[in-house]
Amino acid sequence: MSSHAETLDHGHHDAHGHDHEHFHDDHDHHEESFISKYVFSQDHKMISKQFLVTAVFMGILAMMMSIFFRLQLGWPGKSFPILETFLGKWAPGGVLAPDMYLALVTIHGTIMVFFVLTGGLSGTFSNLLIPFQIGARDMASGFLNMLSYWFFLLSSVIMVISLFLETGPASGGWTIYPPLSALPQAMPGSGMGMTLWLVSMAIFIVSSLLGSLNYIVTVVNLRVKGMSMTRLPLTIWAFLVTAILGVLSFPVLFAAALLLIFDRSFGTSFYLSDIYIGGQALEHTGGSPILFQHLFWFLGHPEVYIVLLPALGLTSEIISTNARKPIFGYKAMIGSILVIAFLSFIVWGHHMFITGMNPFLGSVFTFTTLLVAIPSAVKVFNYITTLWKGNIVFTPAMLFAVGLVSTFITGGLTGIILGDSALDINIHDTYFVVAHFHIVMGASAIFGMFAGVYHWFPRMYGKMMNKQLGFAHFWLTIVSVYGVFFPMHFLGLAGIPRRYYTNTEFALFDSFSDINAMISTFAILGAIAQCLFLFNFFYSIFKGAKTKHNPWNANTMEWTAPTEHIHGNWPGAIPEVHRWPYDYSKPGMPEDFVQQTVPLQNGEVESH
């Protein structure tokens, strides 16, 4: 593979410093063309930016959808011309149609979970940081890495195309439970829209697997001399474990989707049995819709950690750097990542407590689920202790990282309620669940992603993002996140189901209309706050102030490489690593940070 050859090539030149002139000539010789540099790039730095920008666009789409359906929920039946402008026949007279409501919710969830927080988050930061922070020239396979991005883009495009279908996009919820998702007679979105959803997701899974395998191989094989596993930044641990989760769980979703495709198109009955719909008894017998749920959640639960772990990794790094203190309990942090990852494979049944499962099985899943709270609590306490007696610099990244700690606490605690099967009976599928997972997974992962973007923007683009806009962005965002999702706990405890087009059909829920309007108002405020980010992001790419080298005085390897974009990351030999990444404010050192490449002083004890 070409990039690999090149990696070796660099190594060779490094070993013989006197070859340097020659090497440069060589490089100018095959000056990259626009196409190979910006489009079909095999360079991890460029691929990471491609993932980021694609995810930003998908994120804008998903956010707009959420505003559209929040308009309906906040002011049911009221006419909003903007809805008709964007949705045409799906919002006649400016009032969202029930079918379109479900379609928007479905695609919003799908995009947020998979395209923004899986593809976007891992794609951007695993690509950017794995080679940089372990001291590698690039990914193990630049070519597969490039393919991973192009499959991601292709699946994104297909998902977007499905929005324009005559019968609308998939509408059965992001969990696409059959028979609803299997039968076009059940809802229009289960026709062509569902087909495209499945095709898009199948391609997405290919992308994710290519990426994950590459990440694993790279971390395992390409660490620079001295970079032992226990000197890896927590970011890399998080990305590595995330990739392993992905490799183990996405194929199961692929299998689930494949069987669904068979049921839909080839008359098999894996998930279907005893159905009478559209005035007709169907031929399918013997299948089980519950089988699909087992397969789906076997991916689905690890998936929530695929979303969350990278965010926790980024946050660990950012909190330590900006508190100017080592991350507290480095080994315990690694341990809790591993324990969480392991447990995430044996808790999937908590999404299925009320499918009529054997009560004994329900108790087993309650047991394993509540165990997850232990490593999660350890992480929270370690974050807080890292802040204790720190010297905290409030960069925009640091604000978001601290915001993540808050949302992770708030959302994690309600997991203790949901995970209890006896309690889940009455709050399953209500707004309580919506509040829980948006806070613990949605907000936390998005906060981690924003923190990452603000922190590594200088590394990606050589520019700084504007700090004032960053501050405003953060404060408005955290206020609106809690303004939107905190009240939802109460809606859920009052028995309001999720995925309802409106709650006005019941006198029971009348007293909640004000709360719903308030929630929608906060949602709009939140969307406006994201405009600050979008402006800052694109403005800074082109016009931002130049960054200085290592702007945050951080220890990790990526800041030892020159700010300019060079193929192979370091011009000469890759510097050797001599210490862990968290020597911040170490006594006896001249400055409050010591980069990993600095050898131990005389008599200095290595810290862990």
Partner 1 sequence: MNWLIIFTVVLGVLAVARLLKVMELSAALRGGDVNDITEDNNKNNALTWIVFGVLFFYAFYWQVKNYGALLLPESASEHGLKTDMLFDVSMWIITPTFFATHIFLFYYIFKYYHRKGQKATFFAHSTKLELIWTVIPTIVLTSLIVYGIGTWNEITTPAPQETMVIELYAKQYDWTARYAGKDNQLGKASFRLIDGVNALGIDVKDEAASDDKIVRGEFHIPVGKSVNFKFHSRDVIHSAYMPHFRAQMNCVPGMETMLHFVPTITTAEMRVKTGNDKFDYLLLCNKICGASHFNMQMKIVVESQEEFDKWISEKKTFAQEIAPPAPVAATVDSAAVAADSTKVDSATVKVVAQVH
Site for Cu ion in 272-331 (CB under 5 A): 301
Q: Which residues are 584's β-sheet partners?
A: 593
Nearest to 296 by CA among 188, 178, 212: 178
Q: Which of 79, 175 has the CB closer to ligand HEM?
A: 175
Closest distance to ligand HEM from the beta carbon of 198 (Å): 18
Q: Which of 301, 455 has the CB closer to Cu ion?
A: 301
Is the Cβ–Cβ distance between 271 and 288 less than 8 Å? yes
Closest distance to ligand HEM from the beta carbon of 353 (Å): 6
Stretch in the footprint of ligand HEM (CB under 6 A) among 189-197, 222-230, 302-310, 508-516: 302-310
Nearest to 560 by CA among 544, 543, 546, 577: 577
Closest distance to ligand HEM from the beta carbon of 237 (Å): 17
Query: Counting contacts by CB under 6 A, is residue 415 touching ligand HEM?
Result: yes
As to burial, measured by CB atoms within 10 angstroms (0-12 exposed, 13-18 middle, 19+ buried), residue 316 is buried
Nearest to 42 by CA among 179, 124, 139: 139
CA distance 170 to 154: 18
Closest distance to partner 1 from the beta carbon of 161 (Å): 23
Closest distance to Cu ion from the beta carbon of 492 (Å): 17
Which residues inside 367-396 make contact with ligand HEM, applying CB under 6 A? Answer: 369, 372-373, 376
Which residues inside 53-112 make contact with ligand HEM, applying CB under 6 A? Answer: none
Out of 189, 419, 452, 487, the only residue in the binding site for ligand HEM (CB under 6 A) is 419
Is the Cβ–Cβ distance between 560 and 595 less than 8 Å? yes
Which residues inside 165-224 make contact with ligand HEM, applying CB under 6 A? Answer: 175
Place of tokens 């694993």: 216
Closest distance to partner 1 from the beta carbon of 370 (Å): 5
Is the Cβ–Cβ distance between 113 and 303 less than 8 Å? yes
Closest distance to partner 1 from the beta carbon of 421 (Å): 5
Query: Counting contacts by CB under 6 A, is residue 364 touching ligand HEM?
Result: no
**3-state secondary structure at position 575:** coil
Place of tokens 């372990």: 134
Closest distance to ligand HEM from the beta carbon of 463 (Å): 31
Q: Which of 143, 262 has the CB closer to partner 1?
A: 262
Closest distance to partner 1 from the beta carbon of 608 (Å): 7
Which residue's Cβ lies closest to ligand HEM? 415
Place of tokens 């004032």: 468
Instruction: Report the partner that residue 437 touches, choosing among ligand HEM, Cu ion, partner 1, none (CB closer than 5 to 8 A by kind).
Output: ligand HEM
Cα→Cα distances 66→71, 112, 160, Å = 9, 10, 15
Q: Which of 243, 275 has the CB closer to partner 1?
A: 275
Q: Which two tokens stand for residue 165?
A: 């279908």
Which residues inside 422-451 make contact with ligand HEM, applying CB under 6 A? Answer: 424, 428-429, 433, 436-437, 440-441
Instruction: Report the partner that residue 493 touches, choosing among Cu ion, ligand HEM, partner 1, none (CB closer than 5 to 8 A by kind).
Output: partner 1
Q: Which of 301, 489 has the CB closer to partner 1?
A: 489
Is the Cβ–Cβ distance between 473 and 533 less than 8 Å? yes
CA atoms within 13 A on the CB side of 410: 24
Q: Which residues are 546's β-sheet partners?
A: 463
Out of 70, 350, 489, 579, the only residue in the binding site for ligand HEM (CB under 6 A) is 350
Query: Counting contacts by CB under 6 A, is residue 44 touching ligand HEM?
Result: no
CA distance 224 to 207: 27
Q: Which of 570, 580 has the CB closer to partner 1?
A: 580
Cα→Cα distances 215→123, 145, 212, 252, Å = 10, 9, 5, 20
Q: Which of 418, 445 has the CB closer to partner 1?
A: 418
- Residues composing the chain: 608
Place of tokens 């960069």: 395
Q: Which of 395, 556 has the CB closer to partner 1?
A: 395
CA distance 376 to 382: 10
Buried b (16+ CB within 10 A) or exposed e, 481-496: bbbbbebbbebbebeb
CA distance 175 to 61: 19
Closest distance to ligand HEM from the beta carbon of 476 (Å): 23
Out of 105, 183, 307, 554, the only residue in the binding site for ligand HEM (CB under 6 A) is 307
Q: Which of 325, 436 has the CB closer to ligand HEM?
A: 436
Closest distance to partner 1 from the beta carbon of 539 (Å): 6
Nearest to 318 by CA among 399, 380, 409, 237: 399
Peptide bond just before 396 cis, omega within 30 deg: no
Residues that bind Cu ion (CB under 5 A): 301
Using CB under 6 A as the criterion, which residues of the chain lie in contact with ligand HEM when the complex forms? 175, 304-305, 307-308, 350-351, 369, 372-373, 376, 412, 415-416, 418-419, 424, 428-429, 433, 436-437, 440-441
